[in-house]
Amino acid sequence: MAGRVTVVGFGPGDKGDMTGRAVTAIERADIVAGYTTYIRILEAQFPGKKYKATGMMKEVDRCRMAIEDAQQGLDVAMVSSGDSGIYGMAGIIYQLRAEMKADIDVDVVPGVTAASAAAAVLGAPLMHDTAFISLSDLMTPLERIMKRVDCAGQGDFIVCLYNPKSKGRPGYLAQAADILLKYRAPTTPVGIVRDAGRPDMTKTLTTLEELKGADVDMFCTVVIGNSQTYTADGLMITPRGYPVRNG
């Protein structure tokens, strides 16, 4: 019997932010596979499962193993944080299934992505058109990343930065901020949420001008407002355009 790989986005971390489908897929799986950090989060919430944890940068090997296990008839949950289809494992699983000519079922279970988890904490910053941009240049040339930042600036998109800063590339966030400052006021609101939906969550409200000096790492999502975004009562709000007096 053909097995299956369910590519599960389990949300930002807390079980309360997981969808019912994600919980079902993890509970019924023979094997739960994923990056070690994510497996640690799930082990606490789903004790007694069989887990296969692999380190960072082993994505292709991990997905290959999951498909091989499914070829043996097993039900594998391949987990990603947030949404498995947004900088997650869904794409590579489909690519490998084709390459390996594997006769298995693949399902993608969507989840609450970091941008929506962060937005809910910040107020209502994503009420208008938004660009998700990852600042990781591990697989994307830096030039293309910065071109996209520039286009988002020109288009007055709200910008959600994933993978905003790491030790290996400390300057990219400042570079992105400088590009956006060509189009946007220095006072443009910026929200930074670290560990959204996890016990150690922190949030910071700052401005585009101050972003360069802000404390940001890989556990943060950075939300940069558009030209209409404002802050009030510690919240970051982008008006949708409804005719209300204060918005």
Beta-carbon neighbour count of residue 214 at 10 Å? 18
Q: Per rule CB under 6 A, is residue 80 in the interface with ligand SAH?
A: yes
Instruction: CB nearer to ligand SAH: give 102 or 136.
Output: 136
Q: Exposure string (b/e) for 4-36, b if CB count within 10 Å is 16 or more?
A: bbbbbbbbbbbeebbbeebbebbeebebbbbbe
Q: Per rule CB under 6 A, is residue 132 in the interface with ligand SAH?
A: no
Look at the block and give the residue holding tokens 């986005």: 9
Instruction: CB nearer to ligand SAH: give 198 or 212.
Output: 198
Give CA–CA dist 124/56, Å, rounded.
32
Instruction: CB nearer to ligand SAH: give 68 or 195.
Output: 195
Give CA–CA dist 126/103, Å, rounded.
40
Per CB under 6 A, the list member of 109, 114, 119, 152 interacting with ligand SAH is 114
Per CB under 6 A, the list member of 35, 38, 87, 157 interacting with ligand SAH is 87
Cβ-contact 122, 205 below 8 angstroms: yes
Q: Per rule CB under 6 A, is residue 81 in the interface with ligand SAH?
A: yes
- Concatenating the DSSP letter of every residue in 75-138 gives EEEEEESB-TTSSSSHHHHHHHHHHTT---EEEEE----HHHHHHHHHEETTSS-EEEEE---S
Q: Per rule CB under 6 A, is residue 113 in the interface with ligand SAH?
A: yes
Residue nearest to ligand SAH (CB): 82
Strands 235-237 and 220-224, bridge-based pairing: unpaired
Q: Tell me which stretch binds ligand SAH (CB under 6 A): 28-36, 42-50, 82-90, 232-240.
A: 82-90
Instruction: Count each helix (H run) and each strand (E run) in the chain, helices first.
Output: 7, 13
Instruction: CB nearer to ligand SAH: give 84 or 229.
Output: 84
Q: Per rule CB under 6 A, is residue 236 in the interface with ligand SAH?
A: no
Instruction: CB nearer to ligand SAH: give 121 or 180.
Output: 121
Write the CA distances from 148 to 43, 157, 209, 225, integer angstroms: 37, 11, 20, 16
Per CB under 6 A, the list member of 38, 76, 83, 90 interacting with ligand SAH is 83
Per CB under 6 A, the list member of 57, 60, 151, 218 interacting with ligand SAH is 218
Could you give the string, one character per residue 34-73, with x where binding to ligand SAH holds by CB under 6 A and - elsewhere? Answer: ----------------------------------------
Q: What are the residues binding ligand SAH (CB under 6 A)? A: 12-13, 80-83, 86-88, 113-114, 118, 162-164, 193-198, 218-221
